[in-house]
């Protein structure tokens, strides 16, 4: 039976998630996005790109329809476009997330109508308007899904053109955000711009933190004890190479191994205790291909 550290099995593989786990994460991600969009984006007119940002701007021009109504209409229209172009190959999780998000925002607007922001602190509300959808989007991307919207347009462009999709979406988001300057004024436009910059960083950081593991490079004179600890105690594999120190020209053994965060603490402490003069570099990474780890694209 494998040993445990802080309740986690040592050497436990990062197994692919089950469908139940994926859809639990999908629901959590969609709920976070819906709360951030409805309770914080819409009331403050934060046009931070995407369909929700377009909905905010259009609501100023078409006041007869609420931002949540416009969001629902555009998301469903884009969903039909996605199905038309991709048929049964269209991402089921993305389609489901799109429908769920649109309906959830509409439910919020029906049962909890908002006529003004929750507080009189726009910067505070911007934080939640960015953090909640950012984390939610990161959770969806981690299971290879999205909340639809302009992502569907990107999928179509990717299939039928050689256009740089990331750049096209960035230009689209910037254009939507810049519109908020003329529609809602400089203060709201500056806040929306700050939100757009923060959102792009937050999504990447969320994905990285979920899948983060430790890549160890250990240069040591006592490799056998450390290798035995890695294989027998941590139940991991690795790579052993021979090297030579530049300064003194002494022969050294270089060990490369990837472990999870919990195992990393054990390995670091054991290596320093076994060989106080060993040299260790530890890198965080979130994309691993190979036995014991699943790959996140």
275 in Cβ contact with 224 (< 8 Å): no
State residue 197's pLDDT score: 85
Residue 6 pLDDT level (bands cut at 50, 70, 90): very low
Per-residue pLDDT, averaged over 78-100, amounts to: 82
**β partners of residue 4:** 9
Domains and CATH numbers, the chain: 19-210 (no CATH), 212-285 (3.30.70.120)
User: Is beta strand 8-9 parallel, antiparallel or unpaired with respect to 251-259?
Assistant: unpaired
Per-residue pLDDT, averaged over 241-256, amounts to: 89
Q: Burial level of 170, CB count in 10 A (0-12/13-18/19+)?
A: middle
State residue 64's pLDDT score: 87
Average predicted confidence (pLDDT) for the chain:
83
More confident residue, 241 or 50: 241
Q: pLDDT of 181-192, one tens digit each?
A: 989 999 999 999
State residue 15's pLDDT score: 54
Rounded alpha-carbon distances, angstroms, from residue 194 to 117, 129, 130: 18, 11, 9
Instruction: Please say if the pLDDT value at position 17 is more than 90.
Output: no
H-type alpha helices, 45-149? 50-61, 67-86, 92-111, 122-142
Give me the helix-helix angle, 165-184 and 150-160, nearest 10°.
Answer: 140
Instruction: Please say if the pLDDT value at position 14 is more than 70.
Output: no
Instruction: Please say if the pLDDT value at position 2 is more than 60.
Output: no
Residue 45 pLDDT level (bands cut at 50, 70, 90): very high
Residue 82 pLDDT level (bands cut at 50, 70, 90): confident
Residue 166 pLDDT level (bands cut at 50, 70, 90): low
State residue 117's pLDDT score: 93
If you ran DSSP here, which 8-state letter would residue 291 be given?
T
Q: What percent of the chain has pLDDT over 90?
A: 37
State residue 119's pLDDT score: 94
State residue 153's pLDDT score: 77
- Which run of H or E residues covers position 237? none
63 in Cβ contact with 56 (< 8 Å): no
State residue 91's pLDDT score: 76
Edge to edge, what strands does the sheet with 279-285 contain?
A: 239-244, 251-259, 213-220, 279-285
219 in Cβ contact with 279 (< 8 Å): yes
H-type alpha helices, the chain? 19-36, 42-44, 50-61, 67-86, 92-111, 122-142, 150-160, 165-184, 186-211, 223-228, 261-274
State residue 293's pLDDT score: 60
Per-residue pLDDT, averaged over 20-36, amounts to: 93
Instruction: Please say if the pLDDT value at position 214 is more than 80.
Output: yes
């Amino acid at each position: 039976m494998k040993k445990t550290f802080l309740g986690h099995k040592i050497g436990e593989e990062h197994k692919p998630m089950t469908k139940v786990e994926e859809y639990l994460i999908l629901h959590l991600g969609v709920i976070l996005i819906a709360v951030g969009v409805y309770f914080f984006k819409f009331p403050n007119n934060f046009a931070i790109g995407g369909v929700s940002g377009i909905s905010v701007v259009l609501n100023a021009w078409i006041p007869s329809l609420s931002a949540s109504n416009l969001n629902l209409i555009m998301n469903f229209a884009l969903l039909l476009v996605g199905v038309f172009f991709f048929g049964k190959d269209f991402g089921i999780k993305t389609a489901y997330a799109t429908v769920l998000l649109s309906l959830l925002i509409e439910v919020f607007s029906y049962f909890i109508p908002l006529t003004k922001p929750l507080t009189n602190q726009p910067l505070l509300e911007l934080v939640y308007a960015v953090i909640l959808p950012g984390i939610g989007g990161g959770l969806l991307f981690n299971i290879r899904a999205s909340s639809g919207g302009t992502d569907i347009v990107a999928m179509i462009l990717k299939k039928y053109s050689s256009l740089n999709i990331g750049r096209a979406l960035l230009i689209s988001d910037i254009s939507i955000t810049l519109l908020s300057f003329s529609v809602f004024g400089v203060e709201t436009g500056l806040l929306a711009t700050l939100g757009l910059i923060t959102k792009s960083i937050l999504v990447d950081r969320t994905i990285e933190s979920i899948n983060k593991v430790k890549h160890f490079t250990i240069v040591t004179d006592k490799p056998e004890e450390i290798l035995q600890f890695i294989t027998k105690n941590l139940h991991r594999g690795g790579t052993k190479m021979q090297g030579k120190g530049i300064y003194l020209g002494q022969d050294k053994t270089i060990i490369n191994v990837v472990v999870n965060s919990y195992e990393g603490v054990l390995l670091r402490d054991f290596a320093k205790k076994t060989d106080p003069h060993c040299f260790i570099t530890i890198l965080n990474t979130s994309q691993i291909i190979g036995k014991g780890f699943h790959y996140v694209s």
